[in-house]
Amino acid sequence: MKRIAIFCVALCCALSSFAADWDNQISISGGPFSPVTVFISYLANPMITELGYGKVLTIENPSYFGSYSFSYHKELVDWFQIGLKLNYEYSGFEMYANPTDPAAIAAIGSTHEKLGKSDAHMMLAQLSMQFTYLNTRIVKLYSGLDIGLGIVLWNRSDMFDKDLTAAALVNDDVKRIQELQKRYPNGKEVKWLPAGDITLLGLNVGTRVYGLAEINLGLDALVKVGIGARF
């Protein structure tokens, strides 16, 4: 029994020592949506109004299917990690015609008609840095900065699924729709964009396998949770 006890103590000491050398970590995590997606979905409508679309077109019924990420980090020093983060997010919204001109209302027979839907798939690859200000064996608090490149696959069915007559679109709206149709051949567009995110607060709890929670501002999920492993 005494030998078993000594062996267990020695094993625990060895594992504790080995745990201190875990300088690589991977994680998967996700949340409902990113702040940028919320901005586009909820604030685009007032922006459209300012540009002159508001008298005819409005954005409604935004939908989110989550923002997800996979990350790898290597600890260079106790307070700094660097690695790679990959993100995926899907979102969409519906576009409605809301004409105010009597001729336009007579043409479409309604003051509120669904034109279609806009869907976007966003994928990002970013250099990811974490700055740790509390680093115990079990609990870690940190902030972070991500910088990289993204691609958005955009499907604009709202501009192509219906026959938009001139009477239904007052003033310069017909011209704008025609410009959008040229911009989105077959209702689709691929856009490259700079990507970035700031982790305002991150929390890891655990040793070799840990849980995580983060608050982000940028193209990562606003609030997300996940699981990770150190090796």
Give pTM, 2 decimals.
Answer: 0.75
More confident residue, 9 or 23: 23
Closest to 93 measured CA to CA, from 67, 45, 61: 61
Average pLDDT over residues 52-66: 71
Q: What is the DSSP string of 62-124?
A: EEEEEEEEEEEEEEEETTEEEEEEEEEEEEEEEEEE---SHHHHHHHT-SSEEEEEEEEEEEE
Write the single-letter amino acid at 71: S
Report the range of poorest mean pLDDT among 12-21, 58-67, 77-86, 176-185: 12-21
For residue 16, pLDDT over 50 is answered with no
Strand duo 139-156 + 188-206: pairing = antiparallel
Residue 126: pLDDT band by 50, 70, 90 thresholds?
very high
Domains of the chain: 23-230 (2.40.160.20)
pLDDT at 63: 82
| Torsion angle defined by CA atoms of residues 106, 112, 114 and 119, in that order, rounded to the nearest 10 degrees | 140
For residue 131, pLDDT over 80 is answered with yes
Backbone angles phi, psi at 13, to 5 degrees: -65, -40
Report the range of poorest mean pLDDT among 56-60, 190-194, 209-213: 56-60
C-alpha distance from residue 93 to each of 61, 89, 195, 199 (Å):
6, 14, 22, 27
**pLDDT tens digit string along 76-123?**
998 999 999 999 999 888 877 776 666 666 655 666 777 777 888 999
**pLDDT tens digit string along 34-54?**
988 877 766 666 555 555 545
More confident residue, 172 or 206: 206
**pLDDT tens digit string along 156-182?**
765 555 555 444 455 555 566 666 667
More confident residue, 199 or 119: 199
Report the range of poorest mean pLDDT among 10-24, 134-148, 177-191: 10-24
